[in-house]
Amino acid sequence: MSFTGRGKVAEFCATDVRKVFTVSSLALVIIVAINPVWAAETNSAANTATSGDSKDMVIEGSPTDASSDKQDYAVKTTTAGTKINLTPRDIPQSVSVITRQRMQDQALQSVGDVLDNTTGISTEVIDSERVSYFSRGFYINNYTYDDIPSSVSDTWNFGDAAEDTAIYDRIEVVRGATGLMTGAGNPAASVNMVRKHADSKEFTGDISASYGSWNKQRYVLDASGPLNQEGSVRGRIVAGYQDQDSWLDRYHKRKKFFYGVVDADVTDNTTVSLGYDYQETNTGNPTWGGLPTWYTDGSRTHYDRTTNTSADWTNYAIQSRKVFANVKHDFDNGWTWRVNGTHGEQTFNDKLLYLMDFPDHTTGEGLSGFGSKDRGTRKVDSVDTYATGPFELFGRQHQMVAGLSYSRQHNQTYSSDGAIDSDAIGSFGNSWDGSVSEPEWGDWYLNADDVVRQKAGYFATRFSLADPLSLIVGARYTEWTSNGSSGNMQKNNMTPYGGLVYDINDTWSAYASYTSIFQPQTDRDINGHYLSPTTGKNYETGLKSAWMDGRLNASLAVFRIEQDNVPQADGSDHVNGSSEQAYVAANGTVSKGAEFELSGAVTDNLQMTFGATRYVAKDDTGSRLNSNMPQTQLKLFSRYQLPMMPDLTVGGGVNWQNRTFQDATGPDGETQRVSEGSTAIVDLFTRYQVTKQLSVQANINNLFDRTYYSWLSDYAVYGEPRSVSVSANYAF
């Protein structure tokens, strides 16, 4: 059920990389000029995790524990990348952390909203329900929940990117290869959702309500408090409901979610957590694919953005249920032992219409339709246990993490198809109302019924070689197997990891890292055979810095990724004539580029995240990978609390990307290139603190109502027009 394409041909332009470096350097100069007292502040601050002295060891804890950090766009420490709790500048990879405050300010209500606004992440909007994300030219298929991995596919939508952010404390994105912690995967990025916990011994919480464009209404309750007199047992619930139309005609979606967690201090050193997460979405009149790009005479179409290609009988429903349990024990010697387990079940049911061919310019006739009923289930059982802590060697203190993990994922999908002729579709235009009869459905057939297992052992050690120099070395051994209707596969792999960090001074660090990668393929060729596993190498080097005692972080990275057997869509061909997209393997793939990010508290009143990305990815023929993904991006968002009116906060940002293109088959049967020019989308927000408990907020997205395509091949999908929302939040 995937009609996606991949493009060709682009030249690596060193000039563009230099532009990213220039913009990045200019941003640093401006920021330093804004606040010249940083140097004095950072010299007096503790320089955590940079030397062999015990006073410099990072203490395990949540990055949001300190009340002064609650409103920051940056965290002081994170376990992202290695599970060793480190400051961002001590991690030899590119890491972005999107905090709770950033999500609230920008009204980022889904994981997809977060990724749309994360440095180095680009978005592929296939239709109204399916969105894929890419980093450094590669598809992101690693989504983890409290470090428990779940692999995803761009063919079937189980709702991973649509999950609501109300239940998460923060979202961590590690760009590049992340095999040390996630095992098999693409060298794109890993997205880790960190759940909220019951961490308050007093009854507290908030309730919010919002209303916006296209009748979008949303209500969320977040309440936490003690369940016994001592507060050693605590509970938290997050519940929400959302109902909305869309800029698309006849489109309607409902979402509801519930999250509950109990945290219990069994002893002074042991905490047990048990939680449940339920999310459900139901969509009426969803699209599959988009609007025709050409008329039969070869001229370009220009439909209204409101035009919906769905029929009145189409729908899309997703349900997700997860049960999880965590145990944490802190030993007196500074070591910590954790075990995390989860059972998740996601289901989808849909009934969709795909419009094919090209319409007549005058009459609008000539389109035929392909109907598909689909249902699927994904069940995931995972457990991960590890220990981490300090140890002494040769008179210096070091850190280590070692663990074991197991996951079992069962994917099962069925489909039933039906054709609709052009007479039933009739004349297609801006006023098309979707009143077409359902096709005569065929029998249900099995698309896939496979069980994927991963067994792994891993370790990483951070050696303090000298006061300014640390070395992280580690490895993961993974046994990956897949059994089921699509055949049996097995791949064992050792994934090494190495990173060197040198502290230039109290503010700046230089780093370099290396890891290998592997990804067994679930993509198949036109004959139904699985592609060989993707293998390759990942190199990264750069500079990092921290100011204001870690409240503001900056990073500049240069990377190179080498891969073989990278899946590329095989034009419009499908597997054995089904609706599953066929792929071919691209060899000699190289992705290289640079990234810059500045995030956190510029001053006590100004929070900012600015990211710049430039990369180019090609195969051995010189063809560009995923040409529908922008090679250059700039993303900026900030908030400013007015000193003269401390109850008023204003902010906004802009996301800019350069030109993209795809090669598609036109009405004459020849390959034609279609492109979308560079795009800049501006957002604004303001918040007013009416009382200590009550605040009101307004957000405007796509301020200038820019018309653009979020997908353009032989069909086109418009991006979201301007939208406005107002909300109120009451804290108790």
User: Is the Cβ–Cβ distance between 350 and 286 less than 8 Å?
Assistant: yes
- Of the two residues 307 and 51, the one the predictor is more confident about is 307
Give Cβ neighbours of residue 67 (< 8 Å, ≥ 6 apart): none
Q: Which of 23-27, 91-95, 354-358, 444-448 is the least confident region?
A: 23-27
Buried b (16+ CB within 10 A) or exposed e, 572-606: eebbeeebbbbbbbbeebbbbbbbbbbbbbbbeeb
Written in H, E and C, the secondary structure of 9-65 is CCCCCHHHHHHHHHHHHHHHHHHHHHCCCHHHHHHHCCCCCCCCCHHHCCCCCCCCC
Q: What sections of 250-378 are H helices per DSSP?
A: none
Ordered by start, the domain boundaries in the chain are 14-623+633-731
| Model confidence band, residue 491 (pLDDT cutoffs 50, 70, 90) | confident
Report which of residues 488 and 421 the model is more confident about. 421
* CA–CA dist 227, 229 (Å, integer): 7
Burial class (CB in 10 A: 0-12, 13-18, 19+), 45: middle
The arithmetic mean of pLDDT across residues 684-692, rounded, is 98
Range in 154-163, 592-601, 625-634, 720-729 the model is least confident about: 154-163
pLDDT for 533 equals 78
pLDDT of residue 710: 94
Q: State yes or no: pLDDT of 38 exceeds 60.
A: no
Question: What is the reported pLDDT for 292?
Answer: 97
460 three-class SS: strand
pLDDT value at 22 more than 50: no
The pLDDT score that the predictor gives to residue 530 is 75
Residue 285 CA to residue 217 CA, distance in Å, equals 19
The per-residue pLDDT for range 120-160, each reduced to its tens digit, is 999 999 899 989 999 999 889 888 888 887 777 666 788 88
Low-confidence winner among 37-51, 136-150, 658-672, 706-720 (lowest mean pLDDT): 37-51
Statement: residue 5 has pLDDT above 70? no
| Nearest CA-CA partner of 114 in 96, 127, 87 | 96
Query: Tens digits of per-residue pLDDT, 541-592?
Result: 999 999 999 999 999 999 999 888 777 777 667 777 666 778 887 778 899 9
- Round the average pLDDT of the chain to a whole number and report it: 88
Mean of the pLDDT values across residues 706-723?
Answer: 96
The answer on pLDDT for 28 being more than 80 is no
Q: Do residues 137 and 73 lie in contact, with contact meaning Cβ atoms separated by under 8 Å?
A: no
pLDDT digits (tens, 9 = 90+) for 203-221: 999 999 999 999 999 999 9
Q: Domain 14-623+633-731 in CATH: superfamily?
A: TonB-dependent receptor, beta-barrel domain (2.40.170.20)
pLDDT band at 506 (very low <50, low <70, confident <90, very high): very high
What pLDDT score was predicted for residue 603? 95
End-to-end CA separation in angstroms for the chain = 47
pLDDT band at 476 (very low <50, low <70, confident <90, very high): very high
Which tops the pLDDT comparison, 8 or 337?
337
Contact of 549 with 214, CB cutoff 8 Å: no
Two structure tokens written together for 712? 């353009």
Whether residue 476 contacts residue 179, with contact meaning beta carbons closer than 8 Å, is answered with: yes
Nearby residues of 719 by Cβ (< 8 Å), 6 or more positions away: 125, 679, 681, 702, 706, 707, 708, 709, 710
What pLDDT is recorded for position 572? 66
pLDDT at 69: 55
Interstrand relation of 142-145 and 189-195 (parallel, antiparallel or unpaired): parallel
Predicted pLDDT of residue 565: 79
Q: Where are the beta strands (DSSP E) in 331-431?
A: 336-356, 368-393, 396-420
Model pLDDT for residues 507-550, shown as the tens digit of each residue: 999 999 998 878 777 677 888 777 777 777 889 999 999 999 99
Percent of the chain with pLDDT over 70: 89
Please say if the pLDDT value at position 346 is more than 50.
Answer: yes
Mean pLDDT of 461-467: 96
Q: Quote the pLDDT of residue 221.
A: 98
What's the rounded Cα separation, in Å, for the pair 306 and 128? 12
Burial class (CB in 10 A: 0-12, 13-18, 19+), 553: buried
- pLDDT one-digit tens code per residue, 640-667: 999 999 999 999 999 999 999 999 999 9
Distance CA 92, CA 542 (A): 8
Start-end of H helices in 35-143:
38-44, 100-106, 111-116
Does residue 319 register a pLDDT over 50?
yes
Q: Is the pLDDT of residue 34 over 50?
A: no
Six token digits for residue 216: 């979008």
Give percent of the chain with pLDDT exceeding 90: 73
The residue to which tokens 């502290």 are assigned: 503
**Number of other CB atoms surrounding residue 318 within 10 Å:** 23
What is the per-residue pLDDT across 68-115, written as a single tens digit (0 to 9) for each?
A: 456 899 999 999 989 999 999 999 999 999 999 999 999 999 999 999
The answer, as to whether pTM is greater than 0.75, is: yes
Confidence of residue 12 (pLDDT cuts 50, 70, 90): very low
What integer is the mean pLDDT of 447-458? 92
For residue 689, give the amino acid letter.
Q
User: Contact 470/464 with Cβ under 8 angstroms?
Assistant: yes
Burial of 677 per CB tally in 10 Å (0-12, 13-18, 19+): exposed
Q: Is the pLDDT of residue 29 over 70?
A: no
**Which residues are within 8 A (CB) of 362 and not within 5 positions of it... i.e. 6 or more apart?**
none
Q: Hey, what amino acid is at 123?
A: T
Please choose, from the candidates 352, 208, 362, 344, the residue with its C-alpha nearest in 3D space to the C-alpha of residue 276. Answer: 344
pLDDT tens digits for range 598-608: 999 999 999 99
pLDDT score recorded for residue 647: 97
C-alpha–C-alpha distance, residues 425 and 358, integer Å: 12
